[in-house]
């Protein structure tokens, strides 16, 4: 149930993002990308075939990368450890279904 742990981390990350002060021009995009991680992990976990599941996990990984870029752009180091841990989890999910 590694995907469950990844999902839990994604939900926690989204909640932390909601509480951050982010420039207005990036806030909506940051929240959408953060929520996309959890939503795609959740939907992917319901897919019966590895190929379908992996597609959703790869979308989640893309959203992780988007969040990493925003964190770097606005120097939001307080979330760096959280996104790094989440990135490792989601990456391993994708690799496991390669």
pLDDT in tens, 54-71: 999 999 999 999 999 999
The domain that holds 15 is classified in CATH as: 1.20.1440.60
Rounded to two decimals, the pTM is 0.94
Q: Structural domain of residue 21, as residue ranges?
A: 2-96
Taking residues 2-26, what's their average pLDDT? 94
Q: Tell which residue, 19, 81, 64, has the closest CA to residue 27.
A: 19
Residue 49's φ and ψ, nearest 5 degrees, are -110, 140
Query: In terms of C-beta density within 10 A (0-12 exposed, 13-18 middle, 19 or more buried), how is residue 38 classed?
Result: buried
* DSSP designation for 46: T
- Number of folded domains that form the chain: 1
Q: How confident is the model at residue 98 (pLDDT cuts 50, 70, 90)?
A: confident
What is the pLDDT at residue 1?
Answer: 44
Dig out the tokens for 15 from the structure. Answer: 């909640």
What is the pLDDT at residue 23?
Answer: 97
Tell me the C-alpha distance between 17 and 84, whole Å.
14
What is the pLDDT at residue 2?
Answer: 55
């Amino acid at each position: 149930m590694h995907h469950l742990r990844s999902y839990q981390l994604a939900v926690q990350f989204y909640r932390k993002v909601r509480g951050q002060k982010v420039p207005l021009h990036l806030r909506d995009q940051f929240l959408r990308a953060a929520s996309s991680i959890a939503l795609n992990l959740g939907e992917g976990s319901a897919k019966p075939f590895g190929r379908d599941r992996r597609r959703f996990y790869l979308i989640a990984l893309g959203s992780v990368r988007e969040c990493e870029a925003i964190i770097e752009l606005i120097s939001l180091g307080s979330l760096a450890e959280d996104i790094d841990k989440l990135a490792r989890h989601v990456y391993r999910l994708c690799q496991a279904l390669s």
